[in-house]
Amino acid sequence: MPANLTQQYMFAEERFKAATTHEEKVDALEEMIRELPKHKHTEKMFADLKTRLSKLRREGEAKAGGPSRHATELVIKKEGAGQVILVGGPNTGKSALLGALSNAPVEVTEYPFATRKPVPGMIAFEDVRIQVVDTPSVDPGFQDPGLMPLVRQADAAVICVDLSAPECLDQPGWAFTALEEARIDVVPGTVFSVPRGPGRVVLPGFIAATRADHPDAPLALELLADVVGGRLPIVATSTGDPASLKGFARACLDLFGVVRVYSKQPQKDADMDAPFLVPAGGTVLDFAERVHRDFRERFDFARVWGPGKYDGQRVARDYQVEEGDVIELHVR
C-alpha cells in the first residue's frame, strides 16, 4: 500500500529541497513530519524523518557553538510540594499527561519534538499541589542542551515511555543513557531516602507508561516490566482514564515521602484546606517548624485529633505525626 502522501506534505518536501538556510531546512522538515499521514505504511518514513530532524538540529547547535535558541532556561522556580520533571523519548505523551492533569499551556501533537521548552504545571493529588515540568524530548539522536541541567535541580523525575510505540522497550534505555551521561541516577524511593552529595545527582522517580488505552498496551506493559526488571516502579497512565491519572498524581506525591498534617488554632476549626507536609517519621516539632519558623523553639505541647487517638489528646515534643493528623500547637 502506498503512503498516500498529501499535497501539504509534497509542498513541505519541495520547500525542504529548495531550502538554503539551516533554519528553513528545520522548518520544512518539521512541517513534513507534521503533514506525514501516520499509519503502518509510513512508520519507517516517519522514523527516517525524525532522525534527519535530530541530525539537523544537532548540526545547528554545533554551528551555533552551544545551546540553540531553543535551549532550555536553567531554572524553574519550585512550587507546591516540590518539582517532578518529566523525561522521555519523542511523542511519549509527556505533554498530554501534564495537560490532562493541569491547565499548563502544553503543546500536544501527533508528531514528535513539538515541545521545545520546559513548561511547568501544577497538578493536584487531593489537597496537595505538586509541580510537574514538561520538557523537550530526548532520543539517541537529539537532546536539548539545557535539559539535563534542569533535571539535575528537580526534586524527582518521571521517565515517560509510550506503550503504543514500536520502540517502547527501547525508550527507558534512551532516557537512562541520557541521564547517565549527565551523571544523574533515577532510583526508587523518596527525596529523603535517596543519597544527596557532590558529583552525581540521585533523584527518586518512577516510569510512567503512557497510552495504556492502546490495544497493544497490556502486552507492552508486561514486556516493559521485564526490560525494566524492577529498576523503577512502573505506573500505567491513559489521559482518558481519571483513575490512572489519579494513580500518577499519587505516585508523584509518594516521591516526596511526606505525610499530611492539618493545623488547628485553639478555639477554632481546623484548616482542612491546606495541609502541611511533614517528612514521614517526623515529629510534632517538625510540624511546628513548618507552621511558623519560631515554633520549634517555642513549642510547649500540642493536642492531636486523628485516627486511633482520643480527641484532643495531649502530646509532647517527641510525638511522631501521622497522615491526616489535626494538630493544635501551644507555644510559649
Ligand X SMILES: Nc1nc2c(ncn2[C@@H]2O[C@H](COP(=O)(O)OP(=O)(O)OP(=O)(O)O)[C@@H](O)[C@H]2O)c(=O)[nH]1
* Cα angle 45-51-57, degrees, rounded to a multiple of 5: 135
Closest distance of CB 253 from ligand X, Å: 20
Q: Which is nearer to Mg ion, 68 or 190 (CB)?
A: 68
Among 95, 102, 131, 244, binds Mg ion (CB under 5 A): 95
Segment interacting with Mg ion, rule: CB under 5 A, options 50-58, 92-100, 236-244, 296-304: 92-100
Query: Residues touching ligand X: how many (CB under 6 A)?
Result: 21
The interface partner of residue 213, options being ligand X, Mg ion, none and the CB cut-off 5 to 8 Å by kind, is: ligand X
Distances (CA, A) of 17 to 4, 26, 29, 130: 20, 11, 10, 46
Segment interacting with ligand X, rule: CB under 6 A, options 40-48, 118-126, 145-153, 207-215: 207-215
Closest distance of CB 251 from ligand X, Å: 15
96 binds ligand X, rule: CB under 6 A: yes
Site for Mg ion in 2-31 (CB under 5 A): none
CA dihedral 24, 27, 29, 33 (to 10 degrees): -170
Segment interacting with ligand X, rule: CB under 6 A, options 57-65, 84-92, 120-128, 182-190: 84-92
Closest distance of CB 137 from Mg ion, Å: 7
The string of DSSP letters for 242-260 reads: HHHHHHHHHHHHHTT-EEE
Closest distance of CB 46 from Mg ion, Å: 16
Let me know how many helices (H) and strands (E) the chain has, helices first.
Answer: 10, 12
Cβ–Cβ < 8 Å for 224, 158: no
Nearest-angstrom CA–CA distance, 65 and 261: 50
Segment interacting with Mg ion, rule: CB under 5 A, options 14-22, 88-96, 182-190, 292-300: 88-96
299-305 sheet: strands from edge to edge = 270-279, 258-264, 326-331, 299-305, 313-315
The interface partner of residue 275, options being ligand X, Mg ion, none and the CB cut-off 5 to 8 Å by kind, is: none
Site for ligand X in 239-278 (CB under 6 A): 239
Burial state string for 34-56 with b = 16 or more CB within 10 A and e = fewer than 16: ebbeeeeebeebbeebbebbbeb
Return the closest-CA partner of residue 133 out of 62, 85, 88.
Answer: 85
Among 3, 58, 60, 109, binds ligand X (CB under 6 A): 109
115 binds Mg ion, rule: CB under 5 A: yes
Beta bridge partners of 205: 157
Interface with ligand X (CB under 6 A): 88, 90-96, 108-110, 112-115, 137, 210-211, 213, 238-239
